[in-house]
Amino acid sequence: MCTAAAGALNHATAAMLDQRVRLAERVIAGDEAIDVLRARVEEVATDALLFHSPVAGDLRTVVSAIRASSDIERMGDLALHVAQVVCMRHPQPALPPEVRDDFTRMGALAVQLALKAAEVVRSRNVLLAVELDADDDAMDVLHRHMFTVLMDPSWPHGVPVAVDVTLLARYYERFADHAVVVANQTVYAVTGEEPDAIPI
Amino acid sequence: MCTAAAGALNHATAAMLDQRVRLAERVIAGDEAIDVLRARVEEVATDALLFHSPVAGDLRTVVSAIRASSDIERMGDLALHVAQVVCMRHPQPALPPEVRDDFTRMGALAVQLALKAAEVVRSRNVLLAVELDADDDAMDVLHRHMFTVLMDPSWPHGVPVAVDVTLLARYYERFADHAVVVANQTVYAVTGEEPDAIPI
């Protein structure tokens, strides 16, 4: 699921940067597959609870899977929202040139966070989960910088473009937040502790 | 939790409409109590899985509680975000006069949705859950109308205020969405069906 969400946002970002409306449409059509995966995770998790009565770490793993699947489904929705803005603005570009570089970076960072979260889920490597916090801090810096750009009195694009940029920036920031939550839920499953409580 | 989230957004909205910064600060301080409730729900749910090995509807109820608690925690976060904007803009009002009425309505609707979701959770009344969809449609209409106001070439307040209004409107719309999800999870717990699959 995490890899699928990363792929969706990667494509949505490419579609946004290069006005590739077909690619955006593919992201929109592909979202249902992630929703189906979420339902499947819940089914498997419920069956595991029913037939295996897991305890301790196994029980935490199942509970974490249920919670993480909601977060990753939401990551897919956010990629979908980016793609929808691309389609709505087509054939106009969704982004003005001033913020292209920032969004290129936010896109790369968000995709990287999702792939790292996938790796944490796969490897149950608790130390790797710590890296996600640093990446998320970098995302917050980019997100805040976007507001500095928007609030500048010399912003030349008016309100409608500013509204789009505000929402798009928020989609990337939320996507990154959810990736961190997914990694943290794995940490909780492995250790029984919230990440903040683990001395590293 | 739902009632607490409703109360938080009710206070945050009042703080926003009347620049009551103390009230906004209380909302911010109060968010932790909702986070603590979320952790408590997960603890009780995990204990229930461990000691009672629930099956069928009971198992669905426990799984739904785990998922719903994440959604309601998020509703609390969104009320917190509204309160944070109030504090950041103080002593300036966060909202220009043109959109006060719309936000008054969005606030009332969002709080009503959260209280109805609480009632669905409490009563397990599946029919009441259907009402939330109609309320959420009304919220979407208000949310879309906000963009019409912002996109109007005669918008007199410039980009910074438009950015605030964009984000604030999104917080209310997301809060309402989460309330609907909470009610739908209860429907799933009671019936074993997603709400869309139930003929009413």
More confident residue, A130 or A21: A21
Which residue's entry shows tokens 């709080």?
A: B111
Per the CB < 8 A criterion, the answer to whether A168 and A94 are in contact is yes
**Displacement of CA B183 from its chain's centroid (Å):** 12
Among A64, A163, A173, A193, most B C-beta atoms within 10 A, so best to mutate, is A163
pLDDT of residue B198 exceeding 70: no
How far apart, in whole angstroms, are the C-alpha atoms of residue A105 and residue A111? 10
Using DSSP's 3-state secondary structure scheme, residue A49 falls into helix
pLDDT for residue A196: 67
Per the CB < 8 A criterion, the answer to whether A48 and A66 are in contact is no
3-state secondary structure chain B: CHHHHHHHHHHHHHHHHHCCHHHHHHHHHHHHHHHHHHHHHHHHHHHHHHHHCCCHHHHHHHHHHHHHHHHHHHHHHHHHHHHHHHHHHCCCCCCCHHHHHHHHHHHHHHHHHHHHHHHHHHHCCHHHHHHHHHHHHHHHHHHHHHHHHHHCCCCCCHHHHHHHHHHHHHHHHHHHHHHHHHHHHHHHHHHCCCHHHCCC
Could you give the ipTM of this predicted complex? 0.92
B163·A167 Cβ contact <8 A? no
Interface contact A49, partner B, CB < 8 A: yes
A45·B60 Cβ contact <8 A? no
- The helix (H) or strand (E) run that includes residue A97 is none
B3-60, pLDDT tens digit by residue? 999 999 999 999 999 999 999 999 999 999 999 999 999 999 999 999 999 999 999 9
Total Cβ atoms within 10 A of residue A58? 13
pLDDT for residue B194: 73
Which residue's entry shows tokens 């250790």?
A: A191
**Chain B residues within an 8 Å CB radius of A68:** none
Nearest CA in chain A to B194: A39
A44-89, pLDDT tens digit by residue? 999 999 999 999 999 999 999 999 999 999 999 999 999 999 999 9
Dihedral sign for Cα atoms in the order A77, A177, B78, A65: positive
The nearest CA of chain A is from the CA of B72 a distance in Å of: 13
B99-155, pLDDT tens digit by residue? 999 999 999 999 999 999 999 999 999 999 988 999 999 999 999 999 999 999 999
Instruction: Kindly list the domain boundaries of chain A, sorted by start residue.
Output: 2-194
Contacts of A89 (CB under 8 A, 6+ apart): A164
Domain over B2-197 is classified CATH 1.20.58.220: yes
Per the CB < 8 A criterion, the answer to whether A176 and A110 are in contact is yes
Nearest CA in chain A to B58: A50
pLDDT of residue A94 exceeding 90: yes
B110-122, pLDDT tens digit by residue? 999 999 999 999 9
Cβ-Cβ contacts under 8 Å between A and B: the total is 66
Per the CB < 8 A criterion, the answer to whether A116 and A135 are in contact is yes
The nearest CA of chain A is from the CA of B131 a distance in Å of: 24
In CATH, what number does A2-194 get? 1.20.58.220
